Structure 1
Amino acid sequence: MCLSNMDPELARHLFFEGATLVLLGVPEGTEFGIDCNSWEAGPRFRGVKMVPPGVHFIHYSVKRTGGSRGETGPRTGVFMHLEQKDIRLFNWNPQDEVLVPAPEEEAEKLRLQLTSLDPFLGPYPFDSLRHWVSLSSHIKKEVTARLQPVCGNIYAFPEVLPTEEMTHTEDRARHNLPRYDLECQSYKEGMARLPLMKQKAGTEIRFSQLPDKMYPENASPAEVTLHSMDLSYALGLVALSSPAELQFSFVCFVLGNVYEGFEQWKNLLNLLCRAETFALQHPDMYSEVISILYHQLAQVPTDFFIDIVSQDNFLTSTLQVLFSFLCSPSTDKTLRKKAVRFRAHLTKKFQWDFEEDPLDCAPIVVQLPEGWDATETETS
């Protein structure tokens, strides 16, 4: 709903009942966004008003000095949960180019000045609210508190630091690394001279640690094979947070430009789509997963998931496995009907072929526990 078309009384009600974000000092030209919307900040920009209660994703990129129009730096984002009539005050830190939250008491002092701030606050675009809710319906306050970095900000390119300083020649000699002052003889040698780097502590998104092994400890060879084909055991270790984290990681990637979010999304989806036993036991959860995927895939171009090198679409083969059991007679009738409709929708929109035999029908290479001999499996 555009503000110009909104009833004046309704607009006044939303102004005082909705949440308000006051953002002071944001440089002109900064690309600023909330949820699925983004704009270029002008000289009068001081924040956003009439924000509906709930979880929102704020994101921004600073315009580079001397760059051409539209050239911005890496994106920074933050999830925040807003209550009705909430007021949040942020001040711009020019050194780190981030918005820093002010103490609550400072924000509360602005409540009496809201009317005077009104001309400098942009209205939340209500016509896009449904779109945002469809991408974030499972992301609750406690989810953001658990997954968001300790520092509070989600960086597209977080700061990295060397694991060890090794500024002196003797330091590098101790680790058997080449000296800096010697000429490189090859590309490999040049790469070897680069220090090992790690992400700055506190900036890591705290994604759930997905299991390295798909089977329990002390599993027999037959059990290893079973759990490698049906990932229900592995999914069970992270299942409670799967729908919310599937949305959280997708938003981090699509709106926050965080590639790590895409990797987590893919890995979670792989677990969900290859856990037949779990799916049959939890039809309501898988109905939600289908709804989540429906809205997520509406946000991407048709060729987004195709690897430009292999031309292999990982999503087609992964969903193909999912449909192989969700569309079978043994599945809950309501879930089966929804899965069939979803498969037809993807076939029509993306021209994906789900009729070929899934890649899983090929021989499976099972990684055996350490110390096991392959002959054990053959004779079991």
Structure 2
Amino acid sequence: MDSETALEMVKQGTTLLLLDVPQFTLFGIDTQVFSVGPIFKGIKMIPPGPHFVYYSSSNRSGSEFSPIVGFFIHTQPSEVIVRKWDQQQERLIKVSEEEEERYITAVRKLELDHQLGPYDLNHSGDWIQLSNYITKSTIDRIEPIGGEITISQESEAINWAPKSTMEKALEEQLRNTKYSKNSDRTDKQHCYYTVIPRVVKHKGIGGQELTSLNLDKTQLLETILMKQFGDAEDLLLGELQFAFVAFLMGQSLEAFFQWKALVSLLFSCTEAPFHTRSHLFTKFVKVIYYQLKFGLQKDHTSTSSGGKGTSFFLDDSWFSPDNFLNHLCKEFFPLVLEASVVDGDLLSWTRKLKALLETTLGWEFKQIDPVCDIYDENDEYAPVIEMLED
């Protein structure tokens, strides 16, 4: 890139100015992670659109790290966003309007340009695939008060959720992050995710109909789309991507359970993929494909940090046969692949997802009875079966 083009990109792109961030702090934006150096003051040339900013403070040697704190931004061309490190709270905070204006002027005069790292546009493709449905309204609707997403502020109330062996291991891993017990903040915050019922319950309907509603979540999906998203399918996909990013990069346990709930809802629909929502399911499978393709790679650790601290890939527990996704895919794949009539794009992306899971995780998907052979009596993914009296 020649200097004239670079200068134009600096002026047109967003600048994220980060003041007084301690050396060795792990800092990330989207899929890019850095270990902060002595003159670091932020990132320049950030393209317009949604981005996830996250960081983890370290001890003086850079060998131990605090729980990750992250927040979403939705940037405009030539925008300057200013944050300052609060040493006592060990987090980034906003500055006064007067101070902000002074720094914005300095950035636009390129006075701090040599202390700003460039956003790596050559590796932005993964991020676009992970965030193409996240809009400003998605962020505004879901983000917690104050915008910060971190496991140290999440309520213990999420402990009620049923957990497989894999999820228990994941929770222990995230909650036992170094420094995690040092957080003394009492203002627990949470994201405003859409509530997804795990089991459909309706008063006044028969047992057979209730069983049918739980075997096929199409009606529940339609209700949620209409009431919560105004029938805008892309808004649901935006929340799915928001939750995945907050889980994978932000290490949020709350986000993982929301991602799981949305994935479980969609993969548990048997009518919608073929009749009312074929286009939605094509986009959904494509989103899941790119999420897992990125998350299951193991080369995302910050190389400049010596392999310590943050890495964002899915834990080895995802290889476990009791993984919830394994159960769901064993039902969904035969449904699509063996259908007599199916949307061509949905079929193509389902094949790609199946091949990804088989080659990356070694999972095998064989045709089996969807009720009798997958589940044991204590399995949380087993469909609700109502026994009717004679």
Per the TM superposition, whether the score is higher than 0.5 is yes
What is the distance in 2 between the residues matched to 1:50 and 1:268?
34
Query: In the alignment, is the contact (CA less than 8 A) between 1:88 and 1:104 conserved in 2?
Result: no
Name the CA shift for 1:154/1:358 in 2 (closer, same or farther; >3 Å): farther
Structure 2 residue 213 is matched with structure 1 residue 227: yes
2:270 is equivalent to residue 260 of structure 1: no
Pair 1:78-2:71 in alignment: yes
Deviation at 1:64, TM superposition (A): 2.2
8 Å CA contact retained: 1:213, 1:234? no
Q: Is the 8 A contact 2:215 2:383 kept in 1?
A: no
Whether contact under 8 Å (2:371, 2:383) holds in the other structure is no
Matched, 1:357 2:365: no
1:93 maps to 2:103: no
Aligned to 1:174: none
Gap change, CA 1:212 and 1:305, over 3 Å in 2: same
- Tell which deviates more after alignment, 242-251 or 306-315: 306-315
**What TM-score results when the alignment is normalised by the length of structure 2?**
0.77
Q: Distance in 1 between matches of 2:186 and 2:220?
A: 30
Q: Structure 1's 116 and 305: CA in aligned 2 closer, same or farther, altered over 3 A? A: closer
Tell me what 1:203 maps to.
189
> Does the CA contact (< 8 Å) of 2:155 and 2:189 recur in 1?
no
- RMSD over aligned Cα, in angstroms? 2.7
Partner of 1:166: none
CA-to-aligned-CA distance 1:103-127 (integer Å, 9 cap, x gap): 5564343343221110111111111
CA–CA distance in structure 2, aligned partners of residues 142 and 365 of structure 1: 34
C-alpha deviation, 1:299, in angstroms = 2.3
Instruction: Output the amino acid matched with 1:350.
Output: L
Q: Distance in 2 between matches of 1:358 and 1:305?
A: 29
TM-score w.r.t. length of structure 1: 0.79
Secondary structure of the structure 1 residue equivalent to 2:271 = helix
Structure 1 counterpart of 2:303: none
Give the secondary-structure state (helix, strand or coil) at the position aligned to 1:323.
helix
1:340–1:204 Cα change, 3 Å: same
**Residue 276 of structure 1 aligns with which residue?**
270
- CA deviation profile, 1:304-334 (whole Å, cap 9, x unmatched): 5775897423222211212122221232233
Structure 2 CA distance for aligned equivalents of residues 365 and 285 of structure 1 = 23
| Aligned 8 A contact 2:24 2:35 in 1 | yes
**In structure 2, distance between residues paired with 1:53 and 1:223:** 48
Question: Does the C-alpha gap of structure 1 residues 35 and 358 become closer, same or farther in structure 2, counting only changes over 3 Å?
Answer: farther
Letter in 1 for 2:354: R
**2:232 — aligned with what?**
none
Instruction: Tell me the equivalent position of 2:286.
Output: 291
Quote the Cα distance in structure 1 between the aligned partners of 2:316 and 2:106.
Answer: 52
- Residue 225 of structure 1 deviates from its aligned partner by 0.8
After TM superposition, give the deviation of residue 161 of structure 1 in Å. Answer: 9.6
Residue 335 of structure 1 corresponds to which residue in structure 2? 346
**1:371 counterpart residue number:** none
Between stretches 285-294 and 230-239, larger displacement belongs to 230-239
Q: Is the 8 A contact 2:155 2:190 kept in 1?
A: no
**Residue of structure 2 in register with 1:237 after alignment:** 223
* Identity fraction in percent: 30
Distance 1:334-1:27 versus aligned 2 partners, 3 A rule: closer
Q: State yes or no: 1:7 paired with 2:15.
A: no
Deviation at 1:217, TM superposition (A): 3.8
- Measure, in 2, the Cα distance between the counterparts of 1:8 and 1:33: 26
Q: How many residues align?
A: 329
2:245 matches 1:251: yes
Aligned twin of 1:125: 120
Aligned to 2:333: 323
**Would you say the 8 A contact 1:149–1:202 is kept in 2?**
no
SS in 2 for 1:154: coil
By how many angstroms is 1:342 displaced? Answer: 3.1
Structure 1 residues 306 and 95, CA, compared in 2 at 3 Å: closer, same or farther?
closer
Equivalent residue, structure 1, for 2:322: 312
Task: Point out the structure with max Rg over C-alpha.
Answer: 1
Tell me by how many angstroms 1:341 deviates. Answer: 3.6
Higher relative contact order by CA 8 Å / sep ≥ 6: 1 or 2?
Answer: 2
Distance in 1, Cα, partners of 2:35 & 2:369: 46
- Structure 2 CA distance for aligned equivalents of residues 300 and 324 of structure 1: 24
- 79, 83, 102: which one pairs with 1:109? 102
SS in 1 for 2:389: helix
Q: Secondary structure at the match of 2:38?
A: coil
Task: Measure how far apart 1:347 and its partner are.
Answer: 2.5
Matches of 2:202 and 2:238, distance apart in 1: 25
Per-residue deviation at 1:221? 1.5
